[in-house]
Amino acid sequence: MALLLAKLVVAYLLGSLSGSLLLGRLRGIDIRQSGSGNAGGTNALRVVGWRFALAVVVIDVGKGALAALLGLAPIGGTAATSFDAVTVAAACSFAAVIGHCWPVYFGFRGGKGAGTAVGAILVMAPMLAGMMVVLWLLVVASTRFVGLATVLAALGFPVFVLLAEYFGHPQADAMLVFSIAVALLIVCTHRGNLLRLWLGQEPRLGAGGKP
């Protein structure tokens, strides 16, 4: 149990390394002071540009992947904890997502968690991650609403887990729990986007305003 707690703490601290805020400090900017005030890839794109945003996404996705690998990795050649590896990986991955949203290094004001979650899913279940990315791309291409695409992709995650089970690709119970937790968190962090969509005020990709 102590080892599991240690991994969770490390995963949270890893998730707290916000790509946009770290890179922003190197450029003397804080993107939370502009645009939507969010420290995520979409706001980085609107405020600074695509090269900066791409670097942010690479960091945020990468730390999610590292958190999942941390959970999967045995220590000393033996099982890391009394829990199975997928359960530990899911827990570490969610801790990293929490760290991204509420980073201890940056006053608990971070991003919305999607990129970090995708990085973790790429390690734990690449097929499911691919399905989520395809859904995200389809929604963005058809609506140009990034927030809507992200929410729908997150809500699709538990659906895809159940579909994989149905078509003969067994998934650990921890994966279903993780998928539901991620979906609920993404809906929560995107509640502002959803409200603006309801009010008809959500800007489309390529337009001015808040992402």
Distances 125 to 17, 54, 151, 157, 202 between C-alpha atoms, Å: 23, 23, 19, 11, 32
CA torsion 54→59→65→67, rounded to 10°? -160
Q: Which two three-digit tokens encode residue 191?
A: 């509640």
- Domain membership of residue 208 (yes or no) is no
Comparing 84 with 117, the larger pLDDT belongs to 117
Instruction: Give residue 82's pLDDT band: very low, low, confident or very high (50, 70, 90).
Output: low
Please report the pLDDT score of residue 198 as a whole number.
94
- Domain membership of residue 205 (yes or no) is no
- Domain membership of residue 211 (yes or no) is no
Q: What is the pTM of this model?
A: 0.87
State pLDDT tens for residues 138-188: 999 999 999 999 999 999 999 999 999 999 888 889 999 999 999 999 999
- Domain membership of residue 89 (yes or no) is yes
- Domain membership of residue 75 (yes or no) is yes
Instruction: Round to whole Å and give the CA distance between 3 and 127.
Output: 29
Question: Residue 78: beta bridge partners?
Answer: 75
Instruction: Round to whole Å and give the CA distance between 200 and 182.
Output: 26
Q: In sequence order, which ranges of 16-113 are alpha helices (DSSP H)? A: 19-27, 41-47, 50-72, 85-101
- Domain membership of residue 173 (yes or no) is yes
- Domain membership of residue 163 (yes or no) is yes
State pLDDT tens for residues 85-141: 999 999 999 999 999 999 998 889 888 999 999 999 999 999 999 999 999 999 999
- Domain membership of residue 10 (yes or no) is yes
Segments forming the whole domain that contains residue 113: 2-199
Are 154 and 114 spatial neighbours (Cβ–Cβ below 8 Å)? yes
Domain count, the chain: 1
Supply angle C-alpha 177, 198, 195, rounded to 5: 60
